[in-house]
Amino acid sequence: MFKITIKIDGMMCGMCESHINDAVRRAFNIKKVTSSHKKGETIIISDTDIKKDEIEQALKSTGYRILSVDSSVYEKKGLFGMR
């Protein structure tokens, strides 16, 4: 699995977070998406890696500006952080 962290400029409130999350869910088959307007970021957990240009295309209609996209391997931790 992959953890994709997207830095986004322009999110101001919870509704902005919802717009981003909805756009991501419509565009990709993912496990989880969370956004934080305070941190200015969206985190996607997915079985497949998603390329930066695909993310930019999916979020273009939302009006928010993508500052960076970072992808890393994600390992779900077991109960109490044990594997």
Contacts of 2 (CB under 8 A, 6+ apart): 44, 45, 46, 47, 48, 49, 50, 71, 72, 73, 74
Please give the CATH number for the structural domain made up of 2-62.
3.30.70.100
> How do the domains of the chain map onto residue ranges?
2-62
| pLDDT tens by residue, 6-41 | 999 999 999 999 999 999 999 999 999 999 999 999
CA distance 45 to 55: 13
pLDDT for residue 78 is more than 90: no
Q: β-pairing, 32-36 with 2-9? A: unpaired
pLDDT grade for 79, boundaries at 50, 70 and 90: low
Which amino acid is located at 5 in the chain? T
pLDDT at 83: 52
Q: Residues 77, 83: contact at Cβ < 8 Å?
A: yes
| pLDDT tens by residue, 51-75 | 999 999 999 989 999 999 999 999 8
